[in-house]
Amino acid sequence: MSVTAPRGFRAAGVCAGLKPSGARDVALIVNDGPNRAAAGVFTRNRVKAAPVLWSEQVVKGGRVHAVVLNAGNANACTGPGGFADTHTTAERVAAALDDSAAEVAVCSTGLIGERLDMPKLLAGADAAVAAAARDGGLPAADAIRTTDSVAKIAFRRGSGYTIGAMAKGAGMLAPALATMLSVVTTDADLTAEQCDRMLRAATAVSFDRIDADGCLSTNDTVLLLANGASGTAPSEAEFQTLLTEVCADLAQQLIADAEGSTKSIAIEVVGAAGEDDALTVARTIARNALFKCAMFGEDPNWGRVLAAVGTTDAVFDPDQLNVAINGVWICRSGAVGDSRSKVDLKPRDVTVTVDLSAGSAAATIWTTDLTTGYVHENSAYST
Amino acid sequence: MSVTAPRGFRAAGVCAGLKPSGARDVALIVNDGPNRAAAGVFTRNRVKAAPVLWSEQVVKGGRVHAVVLNAGNANACTGPGGFADTHTTAERVAAALDDSAAEVAVCSTGLIGERLDMPKLLAGADAAVAAAARDGGLPAADAIRTTDSVAKIAFRRGSGYTIGAMAKGAGMLAPALATMLSVVTTDADLTAEQCDRMLRAATAVSFDRIDADGCLSTNDTVLLLANGASGTAPSEAEFQTLLTEVCADLAQQLIADAEGSTKSIAIEVVGAAGEDDALTVARTIARNALFKCAMFGEDPNWGRVLAAVGTTDAVFDPDQLNVAINGVWICRSGAVGDSRSKVDLKPRDVTVTVDLSAGSAAATIWTTDLTTGYVHENSAYST
């Protein structure tokens, strides 16, 4: 399914030799129209990779004909030469499609600080254009994997239209986009303005709410391409719901596959004075190394939760904090509550609920535990 | 040496049975005067342990007669009952010294969220009062250890006076105090106001500039006691210098002994538009999990340094960033610089220098690597 589930999109995933393993590493998505409405959301890191700088400009035009993606090299921190490489890549794909590079978006992921092997990448781009087909969605999703153990895809059927999507990302997952690339396609008939507005709303409550290791990548990109091939102008409410579901589905897949993780943890903050407070508290807990180690050790250590909450400026009274882990309220009124022994931390999915007793707002951030596997993977693998 | 290096202080470290190991776990410092000037700096965590709430009040009076400290239990998140336990402990020591509890400070470290075993602690306090002696500095420093592998002490001789100190802390080391307790004593003749001002200045550039895991404790306390037993009113400039040296010495000892660490890393930010920018950038790098894993893997991964810098709001141009590791400028102008192969990351001590090319301000934060040992220790050990 993936990005070719909607009508009017072709895709490919080919081996260009950028990954030492020899696996697929260049993906292409071609939008065959009739429309080319598009929008993008990019990393908020101020150190932006060349493909991000390029694709931001492409998306400003509101039209995307094709997206070319590579794994194995992020083309980040590569200076003007790296930007020229991205430009050259877009030109090559555009020429093959007999179009302008101004409508070709580029995404890269992999090592930071090394120049691309351009002969290999350009040959890969050529091969991808030649291979692009209606059944190329899965190979494309496979080609953008780096440390991802599985390809991530999602789709939803709407009233007369379809949304399809793929994503990659297994480390550097943090708000303001996990370190991730994602392309969402639809055959619904939407304007670029609609794409932009609805993509921002969808990512704000999905990709922006996962945080595996607090690290914000230089390359994060989410693109939405709408070609109108279904002839259906959707209800905005329905499309927004389905688009958000697709993004949330992919976000959960990223957390489930996060590097070295053994737990998928929902940090649910309730009773907050406002949503901002709830998000701040949830993110602070999600980034607390000691709490994350305790989860790995299956230790319902609510003291570390409180210690994390205490570093925020959210509205709360320390004596009114309540904490539940998997539904057991082990901290009540800032002190010892029900017995820790009632908490079962064996399953992968964990829910930590913090009640700030300060209002009625709530928010949830999804994170993972901090494990010896994470440290091993990120001390041995140069990204 | 430790806290009994200056004249007029006695100390003790005794076994009260709070540590399962049966090691020393209660320490006492008695100030025999003639003065009792004192000041304290406490955690900025809003979830404060009972002994912090108590000792903040004691220190506001500007006088301290004795400090009683225990390891094995932090008495944090223990509600009104926990505060009463701290009060009772201070009363017990005060009665034994025939004084008011209002001049007895209390510090605790260890498990969060469990009530103290008061019969054991009070018996330990009695034993400590009985044992307090001029040679008790080392046993006291030993008694406050939790996961510390060694006792931490420091002292300096001034012109006619002495400064002595002890500290503990091996995890939860973060600015606004590492998770740590420290007591500094001096026989110099100072007012409480002088103690407060000079202690704040000293901690701001020492304990506040170490950050092992970004976690801020509920119990952090640094106390300064000045009894004037030397009869010397010191030059403020000299005393400030020596006090800062003592605090910096202890801070470095904490980093060198941080849980599971294999590297002591100085993050030196230069060329900043202001000191705040330099500190923000240095702290952000010090807290970046991927960078810290790379250090553990002895991988001079400057891309992760740039990715961390990019998440800050400091003044810089991404194309003007330079990064050196152990003196090798592996990133110049935001792109590839000298060869990574020139960087030797084998020694424990590592210096990462980031030049923001935005001004002339500079600052350094000391941190550690993120290791499988850290994760192991903090997933297996409940604090």
Q: Is A312 annotated as a binding residue?
A: no
Q: Whole-angstrom Cα distance, residue B70 to residue B85? A: 12
CB nearest B77 (choices: A113, A311, A331): A331
Q: Whole-angstrom Cα distance, residue A169 to residue A18? A: 18
Q: Which of A179, A232, A244, A371 is catalytic?
A: A179
Cβ distance B304 to A114 less than 8 Å, yes or no, reads: no
**What is the least distance, in Å, from the CA of A17 to any CA of chain B?**
22
Q: Whole-angstrom Cα distance, residue A291 to residue B375? A: 11
CB nearest B303 (choices: A44, A76, A289): A76
The residue in chain A having the minimum alpha-carbon distance to the alpha carbon of residue B78 is A335
The arithmetic mean of pLDDT across residues B208-229, rounded, is 85
CB nearest A307 (choices: B217, B299, B310): B217
How confident is residue A377, by pLDDT bands cut at 50, 70 and 90?
confident
Please provide the DSSP assignment of B95-157 as one string. Answer: HHTTS-GGGEEEEEBSBSS----HHHHHHHHHHHHHH-BTT-HHHHHHHT-SS-SS-EEEEEE
Cβ distance A79 to B290 less than 8 Å, yes or no, reads: no
Which amino acid belongs to residue B332?
R
The residue in chain A having the minimum alpha-carbon distance to the alpha carbon of residue B316 is A46
pLDDT tens readout for residues A270-307: 999 999 999 999 999 998 888 999 999 999 999 889 98
Selected residue of A83, A116, A290 to mutate for chain B interface (largest B Cβ count, 10 A): A290
User: For chains A and B, what is the number of CB pairs under 8 angstroms?
Assistant: 211
In this prediction, residue A201 carries a pLDDT of 97
The arithmetic mean of pLDDT across residues B203-207, rounded, is 91
In this prediction, residue B180 carries a pLDDT of 84
Residue B378, pLDDT > 90, answer no
Chain B residues near residue A215 by CB distance under 8 angstroms = 288-290, 304, 307-308
Alpha helices (H) in B233-313, listed in sequence order: 236-256, 275-286, 289-296, 302-309
Residue B194 has phi, psi (to 5 degrees) of: -65, -45
- Joined together, the tokens standing for residue B324 give 């050196």
pLDDT tens readout for residues A198-210: 999 999 999 988 8
pLDDT tens readout for residues B283-294: 999 988 889 999
Selected residue of A42, A46, A319, A345 to mutate for chain B interface (largest B Cβ count, 10 A): A46
Q: Is A383 annotated as a binding residue?
A: yes
In this prediction, residue A171 carries a pLDDT of 54
Q: Sketch the domain layout of chain A as residue ranges.
A: 2-256, 264-380
CB nearest A382 (choices: B114, B218, B301): B301
How confident is residue B374, by pLDDT bands cut at 50, 70 and 90?
confident
Selected residue of B42, B108, B215 to mutate for chain A interface (largest A Cβ count, 10 A): B215
Cβ distance A375 to B372 less than 8 Å, yes or no, reads: yes
pLDDT tens readout for residues B136-187: 999 999 999 988 889 999 999 999 999 999 999 865 444 333 468 999 999 9
Cβ distance A336 to B113 less than 8 Å, yes or no, reads: yes
In this prediction, residue B102 carries a pLDDT of 97
Do B265 and B296 touch, CB atoms closer than 8 A?
A: no
Q: Is A146 annotated as a binding residue?
A: yes
The residue in chain B having the minimum alpha-carbon distance to the alpha carbon of residue A77 is B335
Cβ distance A372 to B376 less than 8 Å, yes or no, reads: yes
Q: Do domains A2-256 and A264-380 have the same CATH topology?
A: no
Binding-site residues of B: 146, 168, 179, 259, 378, 383
pLDDT tens readout for residues A25-35: 999 999 999 99
Do A174 and A216 touch, CB atoms closer than 8 A?
A: yes
- Joined together, the tokens standing for residue A79 give 């200076």
Do B222 and B254 touch, CB atoms closer than 8 A?
A: no
pLDDT tens readout for residues B15-60: 999 998 999 999 999 999 999 999 999 988 888 999 999 999 999 9
Selected residue of A109, A177, A379, A382 to mutate for chain B interface (largest B Cβ count, 10 A): A379
CB nearest A335 (choices: B77, B171, B310): B77
Chain B residues near residue A294 by CB distance under 8 angstroms = 378-379, 382
In this prediction, residue A63 carries a pLDDT of 97
Cβ distance B290 to A378 less than 8 Å, yes or no, reads: yes
Do A66 and A93 touch, CB atoms closer than 8 A?
A: yes
In this prediction, residue A240 carries a pLDDT of 98
Cα dihedral A207/B305/A381/B266 (nearest 10):
-130
In this prediction, residue A45 carries a pLDDT of 86
The residue in chain A having the minimum alpha-carbon distance to the alpha carbon of residue B295 is A379
Indicate the average pLDDT of chain A: 92
Residue B364 appears among annotated catalytic residues? no
Indicate the average pLDDT of chain B: 92
Nearest alpha-carbon partner for B349 in B323, B367, B331: B367
pLDDT tens readout for residues B81-133: 999 999 999 999 999 999 999 999 999 998 888 899 999 999 999 999 999 99
pLDDT tens readout for residues B68-88: 999 999 999 999 999 999 999
Residue A297 has phi, psi (to 5 degrees) of: -80, 5
Cβ distance A216 to B311 less than 8 Å, yes or no, reads: yes
Class of domain B264-380: alpha beta
- The architecture of the domain spanning B2-256 is 4-Layer Sandwich (3.60)
Residues with Cβ within 8 Å of B351's Cβ and at least 6 positions away in sequence, in order, are B265, B266, B268, B324, B325, B326, B327
Q: Which of B78, B147, B179, B368 is catalytic?
A: B179
CB nearest B310 (choices: A218, A309, A316): A218
How confident is residue B213, by pLDDT bands cut at 50, 70 and 90?
low
**What is the least distance, in Å, from the CA of A52 to any CA of chain B?**
14
Q: Report the complex ipTM.
A: 0.79
Q: Whole-angstrom Cα distance, residue B12 to residue B130? A: 9
Q: Whole-angstrom Cα distance, residue B26 to residue B3? A: 15
